Amino acid sequence: MIDIREADPLSDALRPVIEAHFTHGESAGPAESNHTMDADALAGPDIRFWALYEGETPLGCGALKVLPDGTAEVKSVHILAQARGRGLARVMMNRLAELARTEGLSALVLETGAAHLPAYDAARKLYEALGYSYCGPIFGYRDDPNSAFMRLALEPRP
């Protein structure tokens, strides 16, 4: 059974997930365009972090950073390689959207790798399928040819 719960990114149990995510970010594009957060940053006061578990085995993670404009930035969504192909990233993204919607946020925004960085192809395709649209740089970022910025408006549920 898949379960998503708020978690401590500094916990030993989550170290393999965080390290895999960080390694992916370091290898996927130029260092100057890498915005991957390490465990210490994910444990910061302005970040909420969740882990995706199957039973008691962590398989992935995701985080939200609330921004001053009433939106939240999606951070550090990662599914371990051995668990990919099961729709778990979609499950995590949908949970983050529902949490943000419940908290009254107006939109989710994110930064990911640009189209010429193939390591981010699957992520961009997922975000597009979930209804995200491309936009200009989001809060805290500058235009970067290695980055794609996306936004999903959150309509309140009736």
Query: How many CB atoms are closer than 10 A to CB 145?
Result: 9
pTM summary value: 0.93
* Structure-block tokens of residue 119: 């390591």
Rounded Cα distance between 60 and 79, Å, is: 4
pLDDT at 27 over 80: no
Mean pLDDT value of segment 98-106: 94
Asked if residues 58 and 12 have their Cβ atoms less than 8 Å apart, the reply is no
- Please provide residue 105's backbone torsions phi and psi, each rounded to the nearest 5 degrees: -75, 150
- Give Cα separations from 15 to 22, 60, 91 (angstroms): 10, 11, 21
- Residue ranges and CATH numbers for the domains of the chain are 2-153 (3.40.630.30)
pLDDT (tens digit, 9 = 90+) per residue, 81-98? Answer: 999 999 999 999 999 999
pLDDT (tens digit, 9 = 90+) per residue, 58-85? Answer: 999 999 999 999 999 999 999 999 999 9
3-state secondary structure of 19: helix
Name which of 152, 149, 147, 44 is nearest 96 in CA terms: 152
15-29, 71-85, 105-119: the lowest-pLDDT one? 15-29
Asked if residues 106 and 70 have their Cβ atoms less than 8 Å apart, the reply is yes
Confidence at residue 157, expressed as pLDDT on a 0 to 100 scale: 64
